[in-house]
Chains A and B, each alone.
Chain A
Amino acid sequence: MDSSCDRAVGAIDELGDGDLGRVKWLLLKRHARKCKECAGYLGRMETLIEALSEFGSVRAPEDLVDTVMAYLLSSVAPIEDHLVEVEHGRRNMFLVVGAAGLGVTAAVALAIVRWVLGRAPGAATDGDDGLAPIGTA
Chain B
Amino acid sequence: MPNTRLSRDGRDDARLVKRCREGDAGAFECLVRKYQDPVYGIAYRMVGDREEAKDLAQETFINAFEGIDTFNSRMPFRAWLYRIGANASIDHLRRRGRVRDIPVEVAAAAGDSYGNQGEYGVVIELPGPETDIPENVSVTNETSGLVWDALEQLPDHYRVAIVLHHMEGVSYAEIGRVLGVPRNTAKTWGHRARGLLCEALEGVV
A residues contacting B by CB (< 8 A) are 13, 15-18, 20, 25, 40-41, 43-61, 64-65, 67-69, 71-73, 76
- Return the contact of A53 from the options B38, B65, B125 (Cβ within 8 A): B125
- Residue pair A52, B191 in contact (C-beta under 8 Å): no
Overall SS of chain B's interface = helix
Contacts of A57 in B (CB 8 A): 37-38, 41, 123, 125, 167-168
Residues from chain B with Cβ under 8 Å of A65 in the complex: 29, 32-33, 36
Tell me the nearest residue of chain B to A28, going by C-beta: B133
Chain A residue at smallest Cβ distance from B168: A57
Are A44 and B58 touching (Cβ within 8 A)? no
Chain B residue with minimal CB distance to A59? B121
Asked if B82 is at the interface of the complex by the 8 Å CB criterion, the answer is: no
B67 CB to closest chain A CB, in angstroms? 13
- A47 to B44: give the CA distance in the assembly, Å: 22
Extra contacts, 15 of them, besides A17-B172, A48-B201, A60-B54 (Cβ < 8 A), are: A46-B134, A47-B137, A47-B201, A50-B137, A52-B166, A55-B167, A57-B37, A57-B168, A58-B37, A58-B44, A60-B36, A65-B29, A65-B33, A68-B32, A76-B25
A40 CB → nearest B CB, Å: 8
Q: Find chain A residues with CB under 8 A from B33 CB.
A: 65
From residue B29, how far is it (CB to closest CB) to chain A in Å? 5
Considering only CB atoms and an 8 Å cut-off, how many residues of chain B contact the other chain? 58
Q: Is B61 engaged at the interface, CB distance under 8 Å to the other chain?
A: yes
A8 to chain B, nearest CB (A): 14
Stretch of B10-18, B72-80, B88-96, B139-147 lying at the A interface: B139-147
Docked complex Cα distance between A45 and B134 (Å): 9
Q: Is there an interface contact between A61 and B54, defined as CB atoms closer than 8 Å?
A: yes
Identify which of B50, B103, B117, B134 contacts A50 (C-beta below 8 A): B134
Query: Would B131 and A69 count as touching, CB distance under 8 A?
Result: no
Q: Let me know if B105 is at the binding interface, CB within 8 A.
A: yes
Question: Which of A58, A60, A68, A69 has the most chain B CB atoms inside 10 A of its CB?
Answer: A58
Query: Residues 145-186 of chain B: 1 if any A CB is under 8 Å from the residue's CB, otherwise 0?
Result: 001000000000000001001111000100000000000000
CA–CA, A13 and B109, complex, Å = 25
